[in-house]
Amino acid sequence: MLKRTNRLVLVLLGCFIITSCDSKAVFDEYQSVPNQWNKDSIASFKFTAPDTLNNYNLYVNLRNTDAYKFSNLFLLVELNYPNGKAVTDTLEYKMAAPNGELLGTGFSDIKENKLWYRGFKKPFKFTEEGDYTVNIQHAMRNNGEVNGVVNLEGITDIGFRVEQTQK
């Protein structure tokens, strides 16, 4: 009986190690959203460029619940370079299928979305050594309204991820 238990523990430990190791990730961090994501609240991520030689994929990661009532998501994403240059993009992501089912992965009521930011159309290289900062803010509006949604419901975590591309 003891040997069988030891084997089971070893198998479970091995599965955990295999699934938790992520050799492509250079940076991966999340920030929790307390109750609602206020339009003036900015999720900020600071990281050091891994190098200026290799190609990387950059992602915005989001966790959301079924309290998220929109089929899409508009974000303002600002990439600040070490030399002071800043590039701001307004991005739109599809968050639900036509039938209203939320997209993303996960078996519970929380869905995780890995959304492309840089590297999908052409390879992304860090052109400068040093610290970069990425700022993420929502820019949602209800149809037909000029003013934006002040408090966006259903987003629980905002993340940013940098992965080295396959060689």
- In this prediction, residues 46-51 reach a mean pLDDT of 97
* Interstrand relation of 43-48 and 37-38 (parallel, antiparallel or unpaired): unpaired
pTM of the complete model:
0.83
- Tell me how far apart the alpha carbons of residues 76 and 137 are, in angstroms, rounded to a whole number: 5
Judge whether 139 and 65 are in contact, CB under 8 Å: no
Query: Could you give the domains of the chain?
Result: 24-164 (2.60.120)
pLDDT for 12 beyond 60: no
Take residue 133 and report the two structure tokens written for it: 């900062």
pLDDT tens string 87-141: 999 999 999 999 988 899 987 889 999 999 999 888 899 999 999 999 999 999 9
- Tell me how far apart the alpha carbons of residues 25 and 108 are, in angstroms, rounded to a whole number: 25
C-alpha pair distances (Å), 20 with each of 25, 26, 68, 97, 105:
11, 14, 28, 29, 16
pLDDT for 41 beyond 60: yes
